[in-house]
Amino acid sequence: MLGARLPVVDVAVVAVYLLATILLGAWFARRQRDTQRYFVGGRSVGLWLVLISVVATETSTVTFLSVPGLGFNPNGGNLTFLQLALGYIVGRGLVAWLLLPQYFHGELLTAYQLLRQRFDTRVQRTASGIFVITRTIADGMRLFLTALLLNQFTGWNITVSIAVMGAATILYTCLGGMEAVIWTDVIQFAVYMLGAALAAVFIALDVQNGWSGFVATASAAGKFTLFDFSTDPTRVYTFWSGLIGGAFFTMASHGADQLMVQRFLCARSLGVARAALIGSGFVVFLQFLLFLLIGLGLYVIWQQGSLALPEGIKGDAVFGYFIVHRLPAGVVGLLMAAVLSAAMSTLSSSLNSSAGAVVNDFYRPLYPKGDERHYLWVSRGLTIMFGCAQLGVALVAAVAMQRSVIEMVLSVAGLTTGLILGLFTLGRLPRPVSSSAALVGLVCGLGVVVVVWLPSTGIFAAWDAMPSVLRQPVVAWPWFALIGTATTVTAALLANRGTRGG
pLDDT tens, 202-229? 999 999 999 999 999 999 999 999 999 9
Say how many C-beta atoms besides its own lie within 10 A of residue 209's C-beta: 11
Query: pTM of the predicted model, to two decimals?
Result: 0.87
The answer to whether residue 214 sits within a structural domain is yes
Residues of the chain with pLDDT under 50: 1-3, 403-407, 409-410, 502
Contact 323, 332 (CB under 8 A): yes
The answer to whether residue 204 sits within a structural domain is yes
Handedness of CA 205, 208, 211, 217 (dihedral sign): negative
pLDDT at 405 (0 to 100): 44
pLDDT at 412 (0 to 100): 62
pLDDT at 469 (0 to 100): 56
**Domain count along the chain:** 1
The answer to whether residue 85 sits within a structural domain is yes
The answer to whether residue 418 sits within a structural domain is no
Angle of CA points 57, 404, 200, to nearest 5°: 50
The answer to whether residue 481 sits within a structural domain is no
pLDDT at 15 (0 to 100): 82
Angle of CA points 21, 267, 484, to nearest 5°: 90
The answer to whether residue 487 sits within a structural domain is no
The answer to whether residue 249 sits within a structural domain is yes
H-helix or E-strand spanning residue 23: helix 8-29
The answer to whether residue 34 sits within a structural domain is yes
Q: For residues 200 and 262, give the distance between their C-alpha atoms in angstroms, rounded to a whole number.
A: 33
pLDDT at 501 (0 to 100): 53
pLDDT at 152 (0 to 100): 66
pLDDT at 1 (0 to 100): 43
Q: Kindly report the average pLDDT of the chain as a whole number.
A: 85
CATH number at residue 214: 1.20.1730.10
pLDDT at 406 (0 to 100): 42
